[in-house]
Structure 1
Amino acid sequence: MKVKEDITVNGMSCKHCVKAVTEAVKALDGVKKVKVNLEKKNALVEYDDEKTNIEAIKAAINDAGYSA
């Protein structure tokens, strides 16, 4: 089932941070769309909950060096 989540991401300060978070989340199987907003400090993620989950997405963000 397709799920949309709005995840707060702390620690981003530039466009390179946005790219790093985007790539980390997109690398997960089941993620369909990712839109990271530096100003709002969030990531809008659309994913298939049969292939991944919110915990895995947050872990990918944390592993990239940011706090979700």
Structure 2
Amino acid sequence: MTRLNVPDMSCGHCKAAIEKTIRRLDASAEIAFDMEARRVEFTAAADLAQVLEALKAEGYPASVAG
């Protein structure tokens, strides 16, 4: 499972947009959200670089959580 920090994720709309973006790359992705920590955890067949680029293009720049 990959964990990302998404500092601009603050509401349900953000969550839906991020989920839609990841599912566009892998419809069967497993996704979990921690809205308070502004983190997304997911397992997907899509390449991590692809996911990061797609999220950035949607206005949600993300970084891998350490």
Which entry has the higher C-alpha Rg, 1 or 2? 1
What TM-score comes out, normalization by structure 1 length? 0.77
* Structure 1 residue aligned with 2:18: 21
| Structure 2: stretches of 5+ with no match in the other structure | none
What TM-score comes out, normalization by structure 2 length? 0.79
Of Structure 1 and Structure 2, the greater helix share is in 2
**Cα distance in 2, alignment partners of residues 39 and 31 from structure 1:** 25
- Report the count of equivalent residues: 62
| Structure 1: stretches of 5+ with no match in the other structure | none
Of Structure 1 and Structure 2, the greater strand share is in 1
% identity of equivalent residues: 23
Moved over 6 A (4+): none
- After superposition, the CA RMSD in angstroms is 1.6
Q: Is the 8 A contact 2:31 2:41 kept in 1?
A: yes
